[in-house]
Amino acid sequence: MPELPEVEVVRAGLAPALAGARIIGVDARDPRALTRHDGDAVSFERELVGRRVTSVARRGKFLWMPLAPASATARRAIIAHLGMSGQMLLRAPGAPAERHERVRIDIDHPEHGELAVVFSDQRTFGSLAIDELVPTADGHAGGWGSAETFVPSQVAHIGRDPLDDAFDDAAVRDRVRTKRSAIKRVLLDQTVLSGVGNIYADEALWAARIHPESPAAALNERDVTRLFAEVRAVLLKALAEGGTSFDAQYVNVNGQAGYFAHSLNVYGRDGLPCPRCGRPIVRASFMNRSSHYCPRCQRLS
């Protein structure tokens, strides 16, 4: 599943094309792509045609595109979640349909002219919706890419991500240390902090020398502070390399893959030597997925 770096690469690619653009056509050809939308395909299409997109924002793994208000009170946005295989692609107007195309939104930008924004999703776990924007609980901007202090109602419960300027280290650290669950499970809890998935949790825990099964409550302030620093470091490095691509399902808006898979230290490297100590990396079952760690560098406390 795409994590923060992959979704941020998509957001950054969409923003220049969508911010300020007017929606001139919508083709919601597969209702499975609208599972989060409160309405049918016809209502989705009808509400969007003629509206102007003001920006492209992100919190954690969610994207949203605020719409210019249609009235003094209604604040709405297109919200997107990529699921496991969703793609947001920019295509020329009239371009042939993508193999797993679910929704196409035709836009007209004052500088770039007409473009098509295609939502393609092989496994159909991703979705688009039109959602109400609500004020943020802390009064800060909703997420990356927008200065507005609003967030979609479907995203309001999602914690801020560690790269967000409004991320409160002390408050999140204190919350983490109240959890009796394994620290990796806490990292994956999107209500505590968002954007971190299986890949980057394993990488950050290895860098911080913390075993994924260590109880969060057993970690001291120094441990959690170090872990936050390593989470940020791995996310920023992945972002600089365009995200992690293991197959053709994750690509940016132009269909290009990311390169961070070449920089992974533990994830997917079971049996290979730890880059730090040389001991073989271990792969263990974890929440219907896998954890990868070094048994020497990351001792269970």
User: Which residues sit in the known binding site?
Assistant: 100, 123, 179
Of 2, 66, 152, 162, catalytic: 2
Q: How many CA atoms lie within 13 A of 105 on its CB side?
A: 30
Q: CA 49 → CA 19, 42, 43, 56, 162, distances in Å?
A: 16, 11, 10, 18, 35
- Tell me how far apart the alpha carbons of residues 119 and 94 are, in angstroms, rounded to a whole number: 15
Of 3, 6, 98, 203, catalytic: 3
Binding residues for DNA: 100, 123, 179
Of 51, 61, 102, 177, catalytic: 61
The torsion region of residue 195 among left (phi > 0), alpha (psi -120 to 50) and beta comes to left
User: For residue 152, which of 139, 160, 142, 163 has the smallest C-alpha distance?
Assistant: 142
Is 2 assigned a catalytic role? yes
Is 135 assigned a catalytic role? no
Is 289 assigned a catalytic role? yes
Contacts of 39 (CB under 8 A, 6+ apart): 47, 130
- Dihedral sign computed on CA atoms, order 124, 125, 126, 131: positive
- Tell me how far apart the alpha carbons of residues 34 and 156 are, in angstroms, rounded to a whole number: 19
Other Cβ atoms within 10 Å of 111 Cβ, number: 8
Of 32, 46, 180, 289, catalytic: 289
Is 222 assigned a catalytic role? no
Q: What is the H or E stretch that residue 114 is in?
A: strand 113-121
265-274: burial string, b at 16+ Cβ within 10 Å, e else? bbbebeeeeb
Tokens (6 digits) for 202: 């394993």
Catalytic residue numbers? 2-3, 61, 289
